[in-house]
DNA sequence: ACATATGTTCAACAGACAATCACAATAAAT
DNA sequence: ATTTATTGTGATTGTCTGTTGAACATATGT
């Protein structure tokens, strides 16, 4: 499930620190992007709408406080200020400006993580409504993503989680070639290592369960050197 | 609990500091009560349900961390830890235990106020989910959250607190995958340690009571590697 | 056409994760 | 303080998924 990971934008001009935090948080299973410039930060926050923003105060282009003020009215996620400035009045100003936390450098990664988690616990945000279609029909095949049930000629087929996810993805774009790379990424949420053949296996097991011949597959075709393709017309 | 003044409970054994903060915050138009003992704190938090709690860690009777853990599942307001302890691990532990902020003494009143305000801002805007809907119907299943009664084909099913909370949460978002992490967090109020299997057990017991087959669950499905999902269509 | 390199399938195995039992620890009730 | 109910834990079993290697298929170069 790709949607699972939370995204965090780190706005920080010290690239060493920035990538240090990035690495640490990536290990904790967050999706991290970084931005060194203050004047680009506001734009990117609104554009990417990350689940959380880590914001430095002293930045080239525009200071963090202004960024915070500028985005606060439209960006609803938590903003965590991370800065070396010692002044208490900055802290007060930032918090009043709409920041949710103010942490002084240097900070232990473990502490930063705990604070991030506390903010997420409170925010609990996920207003992204999945308005896309929940049920797909292709002749004798029916796929229901809210109950995760697949029927073939009205008969229920029991698929595993991975098999279902792959089928749903392919069926979402019938007639289009999807690379292993892309399938892997969409289904697992992280990148393909190039040697993994789990997708091959999932396809193989899917074909068997969907009664598609493997030597001459009509329903899920192999595009040699490119990937796989769901054939819409094959289910009648 | 009216719209008027917000109430804050200060749990702090140093009576000088305690009344200092009390005075300052009263000037800012908050309603303050104080409690010096740790072992009485949990009781008073649940009894008075203040809008926010300021909690010291080193307390007579019972330490603040335990207080935090004990009340977290039923007390939903912000908890701010205010302590002289310097140890980073205490900070991490407190935040993971469900605290919302961790401030080191000594702190300027102005800073404390700013942090309190930031917490209130979040608490207010955080979506209280079930203010409207108190009863859910899914075919033969009926869940009443005001009386905490569950009926299956009109027959009353007796669920434990945890089981009910988990069921209610899942049924609040049918067709959506909820991770153990998320379920644990919502139900207990603090973070999952990664080895705990209480949610698995709750699900297992729920399935049994709701007469869902365990080898091939139709009503509460397992999404391998991700979590669980409530199937709306399975109750007809 | 032939050999060679590269991409794909599949069976069998191994490791990771989940379900469940029986029991221990904890909390609640008496 | 004792009993009872609820929740968490260790061990076991089963299920899902990824890996390996051999066989097979498709493309490329000579």
* pLDDT at position A57: 94
Q: What is the per-residue pLDDT across B33-45, written as a single tens digit (0 to 9) for each?
A: 999 998 889 888 9
Distance from residue B203's CA to nucleotide D6's C1', rounded to whole Å:
14
* pLDDT at position B74: 81
Which of A78, A111, A148 lies closest to B92 in CB terms? A111
**B141-144 and B149-152 beta bridge pairing:** antiparallel
* pLDDT at position B81: 95
The arrangement of strands across the sheet holding B79-83 comes to B30-35, B6-11, B52-55, B79-83, B101-104
Strand C at less than 7 A from CB of B179: no
Cα separation, A43 vs A228, whole angstroms: 37
| pLDDT of A127 over the 50 cut | no
Q: What is the per-residue pLDDT across B173-223, written as a single tens digit (0 to 9) for each?
A: 898 999 999 999 889 888 888 788 999 999 999 999 999 987 888 899 999
Residues of chain B with pLDDT under 70: 1-3, 125-133
**Using 50, 70 and 90 to split pLDDT, how confident is the model at A126?**
very low
**Which residue's CA is nearest to the C1' of nucleotide C6?**
A225
Name every residue whose Cβ is closer than 8 Å to that of residue A211 and which is 6 or more positions away in sequence: A152
Mean pLDDT of A180-203: 86
Q: Which residues in chain B are closer than 8 Å to A149, comparing Cβ atoms?
A: 233
**Using 50, 70 and 90 to split pLDDT, how confident is the model at A4?**
low
Q: If DSSP codes are grouped into helix, strand and coil, which group holds residue B227?
A: strand
The closest of A65, A62, A72, A9 to A37, measured between CA atoms, is: A62
CB A57 within 8 A of CB A63: yes
Cα separation, A122 vs B119, whole angstroms: 9
Are A121 and B216 an interchain contact pair (Cβ–Cβ within 8 Å)? no
Q: At B117, give phi and psi (nearest 5°).
A: -65, -40
Higher-pLDDT residue of B209, A217: B209
* End-to-end C-alpha distance for chain B, whole angstroms: 41
CB B158 within 8 A of CB B205: no
Are A122 and B125 an interchain contact pair (Cβ–Cβ within 8 Å)? no
Category of B201 on φ-ψ map: left (φ > 0), alpha (ψ -120 to 50) or beta: alpha
**Using 50, 70 and 90 to split pLDDT, how confident is the model at A129?**
very low
| pLDDT of A47 over the 70 cut | yes
Beta bridge partners of B102: B81
Are B117 and A96 an interchain contact pair (Cβ–Cβ within 8 Å)? yes
Q: pTM value?
A: 0.74
Chain A, window 17-46: residues with a beta carbon less than 8 angstroms from a chain B beta carbon: none
CA distance B103 to chain A (A): 10
Binding residues for strand D (Cβ < 7 Å): A 160-163, 188, 195-198, 201-202, 215, 224-225; B 158, 160-163, 188, 195-198, 201-202, 215, 224-225
Distance from residue B215's CA to nucleotide D14's C1', rounded to whole Å:
10
* pLDDT at position A9: 96
Distance from residue A129's CA to nucleotide C12's C1', rounded to whole Å:
43
- Token pair for A203: 């396809």
């Amino acid at each position: 499930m790709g949607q699972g990971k939370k995204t965090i934008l780190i706005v920080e001009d010290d690239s060493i620190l920035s990538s240090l935090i990035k690495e640490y948080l990536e290990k904790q299973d967050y999706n991290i992007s970084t931005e060194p410039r203050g004047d680009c930060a506001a734009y990117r926050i609104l554009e990417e709408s990350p689940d959380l923003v880590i914001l430095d105060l002293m930045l080239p282009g525009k200071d963090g406080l202004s960024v915070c003020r500028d985005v606060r009215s439209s960006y609803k996620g938590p903003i965590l200020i991370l800065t070396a400035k010692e002044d208490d009045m900055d802290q007060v100003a930032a918090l009043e400006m709409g920041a949710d936390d103010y942490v002084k450098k240097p900070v232990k990664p473990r502490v930063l993580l705990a604070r991030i988690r506390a903010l997420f616990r409170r925010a609990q945000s996920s207003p992204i409504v999945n308005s896309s279609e929940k049920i797909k029909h292709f002749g004798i095949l029916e796929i229901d993503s809210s109950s995760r049930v697949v029927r073939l000629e009205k008969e229920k087929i029991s698929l595993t989680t991975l098999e279902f996810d792959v089928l749903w993805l392919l069926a979402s774009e019938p007639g289009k070639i999807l690379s292993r790379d892309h399938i892997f990424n969409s289904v697992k949420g992280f990148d393909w290592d190039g040697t993994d053949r789990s997708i091959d296996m999932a396809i193989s097991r899917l074909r068997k369960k969907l009664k598609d011949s493997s030597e001459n597959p009509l329903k899920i075709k192999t595009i040699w050197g490119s990937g796989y393709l769901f054939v819409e017309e094959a289910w009648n």
